């Protein structure tokens, strides 16, 4: 298995620009014959997003761009960090997640848990 670790520098709040970097890295991974491309924590929105996560349009944009990234994932597997909504009942409304994407399909999410509280 060949893995490309995409060490990109996302800009906080620039979901459009960060998504473009993700798509570029996916193309690079395919050209280099990689099976998997991995991105850092919160690559899609930048780290740390702080109060931006409280704006519904910010989260809506991430959902929209995630769909575009999934559609562009033909022939590659990608792990992309983002904030996502919790659509189930519970205390947490948002998750710091890694989306697992494969060949045009969103396979699922791995949510960060057991976070420290300061």
- Give the pLDDT confidence score for residue 93 in this predicted structure: 86
**20 alpha-carbon distance from chain centroid:** 12
Residue with tokens 């906080």: 12
Q: How many helices (H) and strands (E) does the chain have?
A: 2, 5
Share of the chain above pLDDT 90, in %: 86
In a domain, 116, yes or no: no
Over the chain, what is the mean pLDDT?
Answer: 94
Tell me, what CATH number does 51's domain have? Answer: 3.60.110.10
**Residue 118 lies inside a defined structural domain of this protein:** no
> Picking from 6-10, 63-67, 83-87, 104-108, which range would have the lowest pLDDT averaged per residue?
83-87
* Residue 117 scores a pLDDT above 60: no
* Structural domains of the chain, count: 1
Question: Residue 70's domain spans which residues?
Answer: 3-111
Number of C-beta neighbours around residue 46 at 10 A: 19
74 assigned to some structural domain = yes
Q: List, for residues 31-48, the tens digit of each pLDDT value.
A: 999 999 999 999 999 999
Band of residue 88 on the pLDDT scale cut at 50, 70, 90: confident
């Amino acid at each position: 298995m060949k893995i490309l670790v995409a060490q990109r520098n996302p800009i906080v709040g620039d979901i459009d620009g960060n998504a473009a970097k993700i798509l570029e890295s996916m193309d690079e991974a395919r050209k280099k014959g990689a099976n998997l491309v991995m991105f850092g924590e919160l690559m899609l929105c930048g780290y740390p997003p702080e109060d931006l996560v409280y704006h519904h349009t910010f989260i809506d944009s991430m959902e929209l761009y995630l769909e575009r990234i999934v559609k562009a994932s033909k022939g590659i597997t990608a792990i992309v960090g983002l904030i996502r909504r919790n659509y189930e009942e519970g205390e947490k409304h948002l998750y710091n997640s890694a989306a697992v994407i494969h060949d045009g399909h969103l396979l699922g999410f791995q949510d960060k848990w057991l976070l420290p509280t300061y």
